[in-house]
Amino acid sequence: MESFPLSLSLRDSISARIQKRIEDLQKGYRQNVGLISRSGLGKTHLLLSLYQAIPKNSNIIPVYLAADILGFEHFAECWIGALLSGLFVSQGVPYPKNFASLLQASEPIVPKTLEKIRHFKKIMRHEKNAACVKELFALPTVLAEETGKKILFILDEFQALISLPAPDPFGLLGKEIMIGKNTLYLAASSTPERAKEIFRDKLSMLFGNFEVIEMMPFSFEETAEFLTEKFPLMTFTDMQKKFFIRMTDGNPSYLSFLGEQIAYLMARDFSTEVSNDYVLQAFHHELFDDHGRLSLKFENRLEACMRLAKDRYPYVGALLAIASGRRKVLGISTFIQRAAGETKTVLQRLVHEDIICKRGSFYILEDPLFCFWLNHVYAQRHSNYAPDEEILKDKLRQSLRQEFRIMELEDRIDITARVELLFKEFRNDVVELNEKKIRCPHFSEIAFRPTNGRVFPLFARSSNVRWLCQIARERVGEEDVAIFLEELKRFRKNVQRKIFVTLSGIDQNAKLMAQQANVQLWDLRSFNALLDLYGLPKMITIREPERKEHNGADLGALAQSLH
């Protein structure tokens, strides 16, 4: 397994992983790749960088196509145009920008491919059906065979293929992927849940499986580093960085918009020190003003939700309910005043459209800034009895200041108190953590046990369930796991769930020891995901990045193969 320096960001690691797949393709081994992420996390930028990184005059034909195109005829033209323009790019020569000229210029180079294209266009003139789509999907294989080159086919927003005129377009694509061994498909999507379903149910093939990589928001350290590197003339305090993390969850586009707004506000200042007022003003501008980019983005997202049905209230109402902390069916149905059955139908549709996520018995919005906007801008605007913008602006300013003050207070809460607060919220709920379902019982007793100063054991029990949770602030080693396992032996009755909260990471050997003993590991991201489900504040820590090498296998949570 290849290794990556730990100093590389996760995005650099993803890029390096895909570059390795491209190198493997040239050696005769093909592993198709799926790249999924929420919108705004830099997926398309990474794809375009990979496309542009293919050397000119190489044995690779780079092809890039955004599949979310209206109309099959336009889609077919773009598919063919992307293939032929990629041919010219691989030869290091300019390609004609006009489609007719591109076809004409390509014929002397790849006459067999042009013959297949003419055959496809003839079929398409008569009827747009599955046979027509199949002929289009077959063109990369024809081009690869005729040129003797490999093809890197980057298919962005590939879930949009569902709109093609065929009963099962993904099944047709899957068959062509199996045949076309010289084409490496990099299928990307901004709708993670739908994309995972397609990879699992439609593109799970004997010789064409996809290695699925999920691009996550910036980690806490990456967010701090991003602010420092992108805005070198501005100095942020640690508390300001934590506020950005709390509000944006490390979304790079949000961070860029807000940072640029702060730079604009500070244009006439001689100091590089960023004041809290500037930070809050930037949030206020982007979230409230008509020309605020975040405000426009959120309005468009809400408009897409409204288009799901003629009666749009249940859908918008469900979003408002979730944003305000009602995350189970009963609470949401009460809020939108609909029966539980109808509420479940609404929620299922929102999940299918990747607008919300289902985590066990909880429904959540994974975008904290969108939640904040729904609560403090949209809901306030629609509950205001007079068209007084100044009142709404003042309310938002107060809400932002209050959010900053609350964060400062929450930052002082000890980790052991956070775990205790979390366990007290459990009500026999089923939660989903790291794609595994866990039942969280209603505990009758929660108590801390004697500690050695490095780890803090917490024991929780109900009438028939016992949990032991070990909390470690520092990096966990083999000795820490061994002590935990010895602690477990002292219990007369079985402990049903053994948990190690590893806030600063865990050594590889210690991780293996814990896994062999069926100890569940909660890293900082997993712990924060649970806190978020129960409406509790995230624990935000910013550490200096380590400067040692680690093995690519440690990317397990990042590059998850579904097969």
Q: pLDDT over 90 for what percent of the chain?
A: 75
In the structure, what pLDDT confidence band is assigned to residue 451 with cuts at 50, 70 and 90? low
Helix ranges (DSSP H) in 99-191 = 99-106, 111-126, 130-137, 139-147, 169-179
Lowest-confidence region among 279-283, 457-461, 554-558: 554-558
In the structure, what pLDDT confidence band is assigned to residue 434 with cuts at 50, 70 and 90? confident
CB distance 395 to 380 below 8 Å = yes
Q: What is the pLDDT of residues 7-39, one digit of tens each?
A: 346 788 899 999 999 999 999 999 999 999 998
**Residue 121 tokens, joined:** 């266009």
Class of residue 308 by CB neighbours under 10 A (exposed 0-12, middle 13-18, buried 19+): middle
Work out the angle at residue 20's Cα, subtended by the Cα atoms of residues 18 and 24, and round it to the nearest 5 degrees.
Answer: 115
Query: Averaged over 280-288, what is the pLDDT?
Result: 97
**Residue 331 tokens, joined:** 């609470």
User: Within 10 Å of residue 449's Cβ, how many Cβ atoms?
Assistant: 12
Q: What is the pLDDT of residues 129-178, one digit of tens each?
A: 999 999 999 999 999 999 999 999 999 999 999 999 999 999 999 999 99
Cα distance between residue 468 and residue 28, in whole Å = 50
Query: Averaged over 458-483, what is the pLDDT?
Result: 92
In the structure, what pLDDT confidence band is assigned to residue 268 with cuts at 50, 70 and 90? confident
- What 3 state SS string does 325-336 have? CCCCHHHHHHHH
Residue 371 clears pLDDT 50, i.e. is over it: yes
CB distance 374 to 356 below 8 Å = no
Q: What is the pLDDT of residue 204?
A: 82
Class of residue 346 by CB neighbours under 10 A (exposed 0-12, middle 13-18, buried 19+): buried
Host H or E run for residue 460: strand 455-461
Which amino acid type is present at position 99?
Answer: F
Q: What is the pLDDT of residue 377?
A: 96
Q: What is the pLDDT of residue 490?
A: 84
Q: Is 295 helix (H, G, I), strand (E, B) or coil?
A: helix
Cα distance between residue 134 and residue 206, in whole Å = 20
Q: Is 153 helix (H, G, I), strand (E, B) or coil?
A: strand
Q: Is 186 helix (H, G, I), strand (E, B) or coil?
A: strand
Host H or E run for residue 400: helix 389-410
Lowest-confidence region among 182-186, 351-355, 402-406, 549-553: 549-553
pTM across the whole model: 0.85
Residue 372 clears pLDDT 80, i.e. is over it: yes
Terminal CA-to-CA distance of the chain, rounded, Å?
Answer: 18
Residue 550 clears pLDDT 70, i.e. is over it: no
Q: What is the mean pLDDT of the chain?
A: 90
Query: Averaged over 198-221, what is the pLDDT?
Result: 86
Lowest-confidence region among 11-15, 116-120, 494-498, 549-553: 549-553
- What domains are defined for the chain? 3-214 (3.40.50.300), 294-383 (1.10.10.10), 415-539 (3.40.1350.10)
User: Within 10 Å of residue 133's Cβ, how many Cβ atoms?
Assistant: 26
**Residue 474 tokens, joined:** 């520092």
In the structure, what pLDDT confidence band is assigned to residue 555 with cuts at 50, 70 and 90? very low
Q: What is the pLDDT of residue 542?
A: 83
Q: What is the pLDDT of residue 489?
A: 87
Residue predicted with more confidence, 489 or 82: 82
Question: Which residues have C-beta within 8 Å of that of residue 333, sequence separation ≥ 6?
Answer: 339, 340, 342, 343
Q: What is the pLDDT of residues 39-82, one digit of tens each?
A: 889 899 999 999 999 988 789 999 999 998 878 999 999 999 99
Residue 2 clears pLDDT 80, i.e. is over it: no
Residue 420 clears pLDDT 80, i.e. is over it: yes
Q: What is the pLDDT of residue 126?
A: 86
Going from the C-alpha of 388 to that of each of 282, 379, 380, 385, the distances in angstroms are: 21, 14, 11, 9
Q: What is the pLDDT of residue 199?
A: 93
In the structure, what pLDDT confidence band is assigned to residue 554 with cuts at 50, 70 and 90? very low
Question: Which residues have C-beta within 8 Å of that of residue 467, sequence separation ≥ 6?
Answer: 423, 441, 443, 459, 460, 461, 495, 496, 497, 498, 499
DSSP assignment of 480-491: HHHHHHHHHHT-
**How do 183-189 and 150-156 pair as beta strands?**
parallel
Cα distance between residue 132 and residue 326, in whole Å = 47
Cα distance between residue 280 and residue 83, in whole Å = 47
In the structure, what pLDDT confidence band is assigned to residue 560 with cuts at 50, 70 and 90? very low
Sign, CA torsion 258/261/265/268: positive
Residues 399, 404, 407, 408, Cα dihedral to 10°: -140
Cα distance between residue 155 and residue 161, in whole Å = 10
Query: Averaged over 202-216, what is the pLDDT?
Result: 83
**Residue 532 tokens, joined:** 């978020």
Cα distance between residue 250 and residue 262, in whole Å = 17
Lowest-confidence region among 348-362, 394-408, 415-429, 544-558: 544-558
Residue 207 clears pLDDT 80, i.e. is over it: no
CB distance 166 to 135 below 8 Å = no
Residue predicted with more confidence, 362 or 552: 362
Work out the angle at residue 28's Cα, subtended by the Cα atoms of residues 26 and 29, and round it to the nearest 5 degrees.
Answer: 100
Going from the C-alpha of 63 to that of each of 155, 185, 223, 428, the distances in angstroms are: 8, 10, 32, 50
Query: Averaged over 305-309, what is the pLDDT?
Result: 92
The partner residues of 235 in beta bridges, in order of sequence, read: 273
Lowest-confidence region among 138-147, 219-228, 394-403: 219-228
Work out the angle at residue 315's Cα, subtended by the Cα atoms of residues 313 and 318, and round it to the nearest 5 degrees.
Answer: 100
Q: What is the pLDDT of residue 9?
A: 65
